[in-house]
Amino acid sequence: MNELDKSAVSYQVVLTKGDKLLARDLDKIIAATKAAIAKRPAAHPELIVTSSETKFGIDTLRAEIERIVSTSGMAG
């Protein structure tokens, strides 16, 4: 992340295995992660939480990737 910040390359944090924790523990991790990335100049302020087992957040992640590709001119 340091190199991305230094190079001004935007990035977004994705927390995986979101189904493995109790909701209160996940909320604490989300809050701590948001606080940590708030200090990073290139970090997108919103997190995406996913679970491959329950498919939670997968549609959100796919939509975000599609949005980035379509607005960046990377789409074929």
The tens digit of pLDDT for each residue in 18-63 reads 999 999 999 999 999 999 999 999 999 999 999 999 999 999 999 9
- 45 within a domain of the structure (yes/no): yes
Domain that holds residue 62: 11-72
Confidence of residue 71 (pLDDT cuts 50, 70, 90): confident
Euclidean distance between CA atoms 74 and 22, whole angstroms: 38
**Is a pLDDT exceeding 90 seen at residue 75?**
no
- 15 within a domain of the structure (yes/no): yes
Extended strands (E) in 11-60: 14-15, 48-49
Residues 6+ apart with CB under 8 A from 22: none
Count CB neighbours of 18 within 10 A. Answer: 20
- 53 within a domain of the structure (yes/no): yes
Number of domains within the chain: 1
Extended strands (E) in 1-76: 14-15, 48-49
